[in-house]
Structure 1
Amino acid sequence: MTVRPLIGSDARAWRDARRRNGAWLTPWDATAPPGADARPSTFRSLVRRLHRQARAGTTYPFAIDVDGRFAGQLTVNNIVRGSAQFASVGYWLDQRYAGRGVMPRAVALVIDHCFTVARLHRIEVAIRPENSNSLRVVEKLGIREVGFAPLFLHIDGAWRDHRIYAVTVEECPEGMLRRLDSHESHE
């Protein structure tokens, strides 16, 4: 499993994965609320927007590959600098790779990147209370719940409640990947 920048040539694999997993991903997909700017309608426009935000330092878009094949997307977004130094992480995975430990490992790698290379201090993950797969990711990583946000994000056509999880660099001085590996070796 590798994590790398999301690029334009991922278009076909990204579209195929999204089409194949439509029913599985739709309940968790962000949507534009009424009156907001529409979300990008093509992969090309999505990548352009994400790369523009990456150049501005507010987003890091990643692709997840398993055995050299595109398996999903992980995006660090809402990067805040100054006295905060934090960001949010969102992700999705092709269902055929679910349950193999791919997403916890991908999130761990990206959090380590955020803490070391990007020099962020805190990473947050917002998860719908009924999303058991995502809840398992933060559980495996040992990321603690820090709050509840009613009607937090527009998901699948409506404002939805989310549980908020967060980790700081001080909580995993050896790195999140090492923490995950240590946790897995004790299971």
Structure 2
Amino acid sequence: MGDADVIESSGLRLRPLRARDARAWMDLREANRDWLRPWEASAPPEAGHEPMSFRAFVRLERAQRRRLEAIPLAIEVDGALVGRVAIAGIQWGAQRAGSLGYWIAQDHAGRGIATRAAALLADHGFRAGLHRIEIAIRPENAASRRVAEKLGFTEEGIRRSHLYIDGAWRDHVVFARTQDEPRTGRYWETGA
């Protein structure tokens, strides 16, 4: 894992954001603001976070990859940015785990892109040495639950008030899988 993480497969490209992506990224985010609002975590108001510039965001993500704390990647299809996939909160040592998250632009939803991107990045994380990857999903997010289920993640239970989303602390269903579980099926390319 590192600054040069680029993963490609059958027209799908996962890559780090670059400073020159600013306009395309901002346009993508703006076009999907309402689509993502019910599902995307944000800092609660009392956290007092100031908005971050795009350049600062790119620098932060580069530093997280360099320190092996996260693998945040943009999803590209036919040269266009269409979403995001990341393994965040990576812990090494005895745990060797991280949390997988993803989103796809509304006009690309339902095509299996998020599922393929999640499989590619999870496989990358396992090959890099992670033992366990979790996905935390709001219970009512049926599309995201289908991604976890298609990839063979096992539902483990509810985390109450897990993340601040859309103005409130929200419960999440946790799905997980480990490195030693076979990765077979149409979304897993390695068959490891």
Are 1:109 and 2:120 an aligned pair? yes
Distance 1:170 1:41 in 2: 38
Distance 2:37 2:30 in 1: 10
Are 1:147 and 2:157 an aligned pair? yes
Structure 2: gaps of 5 or more residues: 1-11
Structure 1: gaps of 5 or more residues: 182-187
What's the CA shift for 1:36? Answer: 1.9
Aligned residues: 180
Q: How does 1:74-113 map to 2 (within 5 A)?
A: 74-113=85-124
Aligned to 2:60: 49
Q: TM-score, normalised on structure 2?
A: 0.87
Aligned to 2:134: 124
Is the alpha carbon distance of 1:157 and 1:180 closer, same or farther for their aligned partners in structure 2, counting shifts above 3 Å? Answer: farther
Distance 1:172 1:38 in 2: 41
- Do the aligned partners of 1:125 and 1:164 also contact (CA within 8 Å) in 2? yes
Distance 1:114 1:10 in 2: 24
- Do the aligned partners of 1:105 and 1:180 also contact (CA within 8 Å) in 2? no
What's the CA shift for 1:154? Answer: 0.8
What's the CA shift for 1:54? Answer: 1.6
Is the deviation greater in 130-139 or in 160-169? Answer: 130-139
Letter of the structure 1 residue corresponding to residue 59 of structure 2: R
Is the deviation greater in 54-63 or in 99-108? Answer: 54-63
Higher helix share: 1
What's the CA shift for 1:114? Answer: 0.3
* Aligned residues with identical type, % of pairs: 48
Letter of the structure 2 residue corresponding to residue 130 of structure 1: E
Tell me the C-alpha RMSD between the 2 structures: 2.0
What SS is found at the alignment partner of 1:96? helix
Aligned to 1:62: 73
Letter of the structure 1 residue corresponding to residue 108 of structure 2: Y
What's the CA shift for 1:12? Answer: 1.3
